[in-house]
Structure 1
């Protein structure tokens, strides 16, 4: 059977195979706890037997003739049984809970690791909130079942086996009365399970959509406020939350009916045992002590079955969650990890794109039959209109996407053959959309170079012209900058990103619109730092502001996925083509259609 079609919990038990010993220990403690928990009715039966039969009681047959001695033995036996029951209860609770924590930890880590290996298009097609719902809510739901549900199933099974066996030993002619409701209860449980499964899957889906929207709104809270869309978003959350509530209500309406129906069936078995067993005891065909034990055991046998409703409810919720988690883990990883090591110190930095064609999912090719060579140590610039394919080249170099055809090489080696970690260690990206993590300034600069010394962090900040403003922050390098660096200005965030790239010290530097969102003064500061860090390394600068790349060794002008012009700044101005027209626009001049070529 394929893993996709396999029952969710069978897959879960296969996944948890590494914890086989812990599962057996927890299961054994659950069973032993239930066995000792079922002993008190037998003790009550023995006590009744001692009081009624006295020297002719069951214990007297074992050589304890005195009633007092028999009661002492029974008391000591009670202490022993209660003590062992309590000991095994502690043991199974601790074992199951630790096991639940361990499995949910491993499952979340494996799911997250799998997510990180997915191609970038996977994330662009899915909501962050939906993925978070799987990593958090679904895995937590699974933990809740392992925490208590697994133990409950074991204990109910133990109860049925132990008490059923005792009944057939003590009074086989009455035992069938107590067991009579069992087939109906089991049939009802299976029927409820089949009807509950799709309802709980709908619950998990609806909570995923709700989490996705909440995550989206919290991320975009500034936009919501600036467009006074608070009420609109409240209504949207209200609608999604209502869908979640209604899907839960549909599941609850069915699951809540389980226990009352089971109680009616239990009542039939209990009443039959009470009545017919009592008649046998009155007729002398059944010992009074045995009858007392059976009445108590019938209640202990059948009453726990009412909890099957809660256990079944927990099981169905966790099964739906398990299905979603393994659906994520089953997503194929299309990015080849590579097999050729290329240590950073051996990278020279020559990049070649040979007849590369690529298009995003369900869209026409962004670049087609594209070729470009960047000599090691050179600084080249790529300019062009929005949508011409500039940033796509960056994503292909980092293998965030895989090319459809053609070849990209680094120092003559196909980048698909290079170990993915080695390839990305050789490249530092400073993008327009700077992402900073919630943490301190130093932690963000050190990100990716986690072993860097404090003095190296300060040196990198100085090169990026960030040291002065960092020193003025309340706690300097230990200042917490908030989620996405929201406590800093755009220029400050950009300079921290440059400092992070400086500290990485890669042989290849990619600047993707690194100064597009800052003022002129900040741009000048950033440009000074870039002039320093581009020395002796291969640099690819993508820019709208042509003033920032005029000193590049070669400038490539892209148009509709192809290179329309190439040359130095002066050469391109003399050509009077697209680049010259763009330059005049940015310098405040005008150009005609004829001038644009």
Structure 2
């Protein structure tokens, strides 16, 4: 067997892009990405009413924008040059009409800015929820290969830019198309030749934008990966801050952070350079269009091909035409930020968990606790050696089984296969006669309680952490569970008792106290199958004895598997299995194995001398 007693592993694959790190039989698979466009549009579906209202307001804003220069043309050409006897009255009416247009435009713009942004925020919330729920489904093998900071970046930063694209994208496209089309028609009506000359700039602008657009996309993707690296480094350092300080390795952590920070800075430098060329160049083209109108329009006025009133209207329309160009530029930025975020978002969402319920999976009910391993083999990845090889084992309901052996022989791995944290590579595991792959994961794990060697407590109160074993538990049930785990006394000594805040990962508690709270959670869950992975490893002798007595009481009519290094805690086990690299080398009661005077006896005698 390999040294895989500790399930959680960090590998160099965590720095790769997600699809590349999914090799191996135990890894999650990646779905084809052919339906991403359809998936992108699907997020609009719950908000179609708001979406159409937003687009309608965008249309009104475009229409009012085009009407204002036409109103100016009407005043200068029809009223001022038309010898209108009611000039002041008509100018006042037209002014009032233009003011009304401005009011309508302002109201629609405010609607777009508020409700449009809220639509994008709701869609972002939906995506975050979907991705978070997907994270919950992915198997342990996925998390063995990934960094938490990178996964957090995909959940937060990437979805933010997506919300901006969801809102501004369609709106900017509609406004740009309608305003540019309307402005072109107005300009063409005033002077077709000048308009055609003006629009010769567009093909050049498109080629220029396309070239730097590709560079921006590459740079933005790189910067998103680098900010994920920074988040991963910060999360790793802060989570282990006590280890960092105990080894006085602050400078080492600073160097690692500086390296990640420099890589991010380099990626942003490339991105900002491309953005500068992209936006600066397009801005120059917009200004060149205005200069061309002034110069060519002035020549047309000199040659009487254009009068001053039309020249004024023309300049106003060109000013309007610059606005959709700016929106197009803004859309280019949003598109690059949003689409790279969407690609990273979908990379995770397209990973299908390798551990899923079968189509005809049944719900487990009235579980007794009979467990059987039938020729089970397991390896973490293809090409690796088997951690468990051709192991057969039968555990009757209510049996109290202990697993012992040196580190690295697969004790924890063996127990991780029962709740199906990983799937067997060969053979099968039965629970009450049912292959665990043929029952729902939820019902399987609902009937199994686990106390892990690496205790994890959530930020919050003691009561909240114990209640995690049964979310609808009453206060009295929580107290009873704490008493069974011999945690009640130390809890009541705390200033706020069960309402005491324990800090991130329970940092305000001792190792033994954290272990007893994790045991209390399992007491509260009260499942028919219980797995204790070095559950008393962090306890002092007095606490160990108290918990040992509680475990033996809890083992009545329940299937109990205990992984133990302290052999004194499992002397009363009905059967002790001694694991070695070749499998189960010995099994029997404590007395039988001592009489055998082999591997178990050697381990026991060695500990007795300490």
User: Equivalent of 1:406, from 427, 430, 442?
Assistant: 427
Secondary structure in 2 aligned to 1:268?
helix
Report SS of the residue matched to 1:552: coil
**CA-CA distance at 1:287 after TM superposition:** 4.6
Q: 1:10 to 1:287 in 2, by over 3 A?
A: farther
**Deviation for aligned residue 1:264:** 3.1
Shift of 1:421: 0.2
1:37 Cα deviation (Å)?
3.0
What secondary structure is seen at the aligned counterpart in 2 of 1:566? strand
Q: State whether structure 2 residue 216 is matched by structure 1 residue 180.
A: no
- The answer to which of 150-159 and 485-494 deviates more is 150-159
**Offset at 1:291?**
2.2
Distance, in Å, in 2 between the alignment partners of 1:381 and 1:546 is: 9
1:504 is matched with 525
8 Å CA contact retained: 2:376, 2:388: yes
Q: Give per-residue Cα distances to partners, 1:475-519, cap 9 Å, x unaligned.
A: 111111111111111111111111111111111111110011222
Q: Which residue of 2 aligns with 1:39?
A: 67
Matched, 1:22 2:42: no
Q: Size of the alignment, in residue pairs? A: 579
Post-superposition offset of 1:236: 1.1
The more displaced of 254-263 and 19-28 is 19-28
Where do 1:469-484 residues align within 5 Å? 469-484=490-505
Q: Contact (CA 8 Å) 2:162, 2:342: kept in 1 or not?
A: yes
Moved beyond 6 Å, runs of 4+:
none
What is the TM-score normalised by the length of structure 2?
0.90
TM-aligned CA deviation for residue 245 of structure 1: 0.6
Relative to 1, partners in 2 of residues 1:4 and 1:194: Cα closer, same or farther, differing over 3 Å? Answer: farther
**Which among 380, 387, 400 is matched to residue 408 of structure 2?**
387
5 Å matches for 1:111-126? Answer: 111-126=131-146
Distance of 2:463 and 2:182 partners within structure 1: 63
Q: Distance in 1 between matches of 2:37 and 2:442?
A: 35
For 1:11-410, list aligned pairs within 5 A: 11-49=39-77, 52-56=80-84, 66-281=86-301, 284-306=304-326, 308-338=328-358, 339-344=360-365, 346-361=366-381, 362-410=383-431
Per the normalisation by structure 1, the TM-score is 0.92
> C-alpha separation between the residues in 2 aligned to 1:387 and 1:3?
34
Q: Distance in 1 between matches of 2:33 and 2:212?
A: 21
Which residue of 2 is the match for residue 555 of structure 1? Answer: 576
1:265 Cα offset (Å): 2.4
What is the CA distance between 1:9 and its match in structure 2?
5.8
Contiguous gaps of at least 5 residues in structure 1: 57-64, 590-597
Question: For the residues of structure 1 that align with 2:470 and 2:190, how far apart are their CA atoms?
Answer: 73
Q: Alignment partner for residue 556 of structure 2, among 524, 531, 535?
A: 535
Shift of 1:396: 0.4
SS of equivalent to 1:257: helix
CA deviation map 1:122-150 (0-9, x unaligned): 11111111111211221123223335455
Check conservation: 2:175, 2:324, Cα contact below 8 A: no
**How far off is 1:78 after superposition?**
1.5
Q: Tell me the distance in 1 between the aligned counterparts of 2:78 and 2:469.
A: 77
User: Do 2:209 and 2:282's aligned partners in 1 also have CA atoms closer than 8 Å?
Assistant: no
Offset of residue 218 of structure 1: 1.0
Structure 2: how far apart are the matches of 1:203 and 1:150? Answer: 26
Q: Structure 1, residues 98-124: CA drift from partner, whole Å, max 9, x if none? A: 221122112112222222212211111
Q: Deviations over 1:216-254 (max 9, x none)?
A: 111111111111110111011111101101110111111
Kindly indicate whether the alpha-carbon contact (under 8 Å) linking 2:212 and 2:277 is maintained by their aligned counterparts in 1.
Answer: no
Q: How far apart are 1:454 and its partner, in Å?
A: 1.2
Does structure 2 retain, via aligned residues, the 8 Å contact 1:177–1:273?
no
Cα distance in 2 for partners of 1:140, 1:561 equals 52
Distance 1:524 1:89 in 2: 71
Between the aligned partners of 1:325 and 1:406, the Cα distance in structure 2 is 36
Q: 1:172 to 1:309 in 2, by over 3 A?
A: closer
Q: 1:382·1:543 contact (CA, 8 Å) conserved in 2? A: yes
Name whichever of 580-589 and 230-239 sits farther off: 580-589
2:131 partner SS: helix
Choose from 428, 435, 440 the match for 1:419.
440
Q: Distance in 1 between matches of 2:327 and 2:266?
A: 24
Distance verdict in 2 for CA 1:152–1:472, change over 3 Å: same
1:38 Cα deviation (Å)?
Answer: 3.6
Structure 2 distance, partners of 1:82, 1:585, is 89
- Pairing 1:432–2:453 present: yes
Counterpart contact for 1:366–1:561, Cα < 8 Å: no
Q: CA deviation at 1:304?
A: 4.6
State how far apart, in whole Å, the 2-side matches of 1:476 and 1:343 are.
Answer: 37
CA gap of 1:3–1:552, structure 2 versus 1, over 3 A, is closer
Give 1:303 shift.
Answer: 4.9
Mapped to 1, the partners of 2:299 and 2:134 lie a distance apart of 66
Within the alignment, does 1:573 sit opposite 2:601 as a pair?
no
Shift of 1:19: 3.6
Cα pair 1:370 1:561 within 8 Å, conserved: no
**C-alpha distance in 2 between matches for 1:319 and 1:443:** 40
When structure 1 is superposed on structure 2, of 183-192 and 559-568 the one drifting more is: 183-192
Deviation, structure 1 residue 413: 0.6
**Alpha-carbon distance in structure 1 between the residues aligned to 2:199 and 2:31:** 38
Contact 2:372 2:430 in 1 (8 A): yes
Which region of structure 1 is more displaced relative to structure 2, 355-364 or 505-514? 355-364
What value does the CA root-mean-square deviation take over the aligned residues?
Answer: 2.1
Residues in 2 aligned to 1:11 and 1:178: alpha-carbon distance in whole angstroms = 39
> Which stretch shifts more, 179-188 or 432-441?
179-188
Deviations 1:65-108 (A, max 9, x none): 51122112112211210111011112212232122112211211
Q: Give the match for residue 442 of structure 1.
A: 463
Partner Cα distance (2:327, 2:250) in 1: 44
Tell me which moved more, 308-317 or 355-364: 308-317
Mapped to 2, the partners of 1:523 and 1:209 lie a distance apart of 41
Superposed displacement of residue 542, structure 1? 0.8
Deviation at 1:15, TM superposition (A): 4.6
For the 8 Å contact 1:383–1:558, the answer to whether it is kept is yes
Match of 1:492 among 463, 488, 513: 513
